[in-house]
């Protein structure tokens, strides 16, 4: 069975970004959600028994609330990362490197 995880790092501060709401979407419907912990990770983004089949997925990061809570000006209110899950039992780790005016992402391990 495939699994999906994420990790958010605030590159402007050089530390994990905690308290960011993350939603996992497939075919327009939310199939998982969570909030980043003190290490910037969502430990249980989706239920362990959820069948994550082949298809297109999207992670939505509510970063506007994160920056506002810290009193930091930012350009992005949400960041959406779309990706494809192939058939099989792969693990899909999608890190987000974040700053108030930019971000990057990649397929991690």
Between 43 and 84, name the one with better pLDDT. 84
pLDDT of res. 6 = 95
Strand order in the sheet with 91-99: 15-16, 3-10, 91-99, 102-105
Instruction: With a cut of 70, say whether residue 88 has pLDDT above it.
Output: no
Q: Whole-angstrom Cα distance, residue 3 to residue 51?
A: 9
Q: Whole-angstrom Cα distance, residue 71 to residue 91?
A: 35
Write down the pTM of the prediction.
Answer: 0.92
Q: Tokens for 36, please give them.
A: 């980043």
Q: Which residues, listed in sequence order, are joined to residue 108 by a DSSP beta bridge?
A: 93
- How does pLDDT run across 10-69, given as a tens digit for each residue? 999 999 999 999 999 998 999 999 999 999 999 888 887 788 888 899 999 999 999 999
pLDDT of res. 101 = 97
* CATH level 3 topology of 3-105: Immunoglobulin-like (2.60.40)
Spell out the residues 6+ positions from residue 24 whose beta carbon is closer than 8 angstroms to its own: 4, 30, 31, 32, 33, 45, 46, 57, 58, 59
Banded pLDDT at 90 (limits 50, 70, 90): confident
């Amino acid at each position: 069975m495939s699994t999906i995880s994420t990790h958010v790092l605030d590159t402007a501060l050089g530390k994990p970004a905690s308290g960011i709401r993350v939603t996992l979407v497939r075919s327009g419907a939310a199939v998982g959600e969570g909030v980043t912990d003190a290490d910037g990770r969502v430990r249980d983004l989706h239920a362990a028994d959820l069948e994550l089949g082949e298809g297109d997925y999207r992670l939505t990061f509510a970063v506007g609330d994160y920056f506002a809570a810290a009193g930091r000006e930012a350009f992005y209110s949400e960041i959406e990362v779309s990706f494809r899950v192939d058939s099989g039992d792969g693990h899909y780790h999608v890190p987000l490197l974040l700053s108030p005016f930019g971000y990057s992402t990649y397929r991690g391990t």
